[in-house]
Amino acid sequence: MTIRQCFDRFIADRMVYCADKTIRTYTMHLDLFLRWLSNTYGPIEQIGFEQFPSSDNIFTNYILYLRSKSSCKNVTIRSCARSIKAFLAYCYEEDLC
């Protein structure tokens, strides 16, 4: 399963019980994360989690990337991290990664 398909399943799952504002927050934060993944590893429409090198910690690498940007405040980084953790936990629990 591609990362884009995982994202679509995650959002569909959350739409069942999350508020619209929460869905918008997830979508906004994960769009940035997925854009970074595409720029770093290749198009998310074509790659799955199994294609990442096992030595790479994509979550940590992304947080370090955000911290390197001077325009990102700590509160923004923490908010993004919560959304990404929720997405990655969902993927793990659903055996997508």
As a whole number, mean pLDDT of residues 56-72 equals 85
Residue 46 sits in a domain whose CATH number is: 1.10.150
User: pLDDT for 27-52, tens place per residue?
Assistant: 999 999 999 999 988 898 998 888 88
Number of compact structural domains in the chain: 1
Parent domain of 19? 3-93
| Secondary-structure breakdown of the chain: helix, strand, coil percentages, each rounded to the nearest 5 | 70, 0, 30
Say if residue 87's pLDDT is above 90: yes
CA dist 4 to 8, 61, 72, 77, 94, Å? Answer: 6, 19, 25, 22, 15
Helix or strand run (H / E) with residue 93: helix 74-93
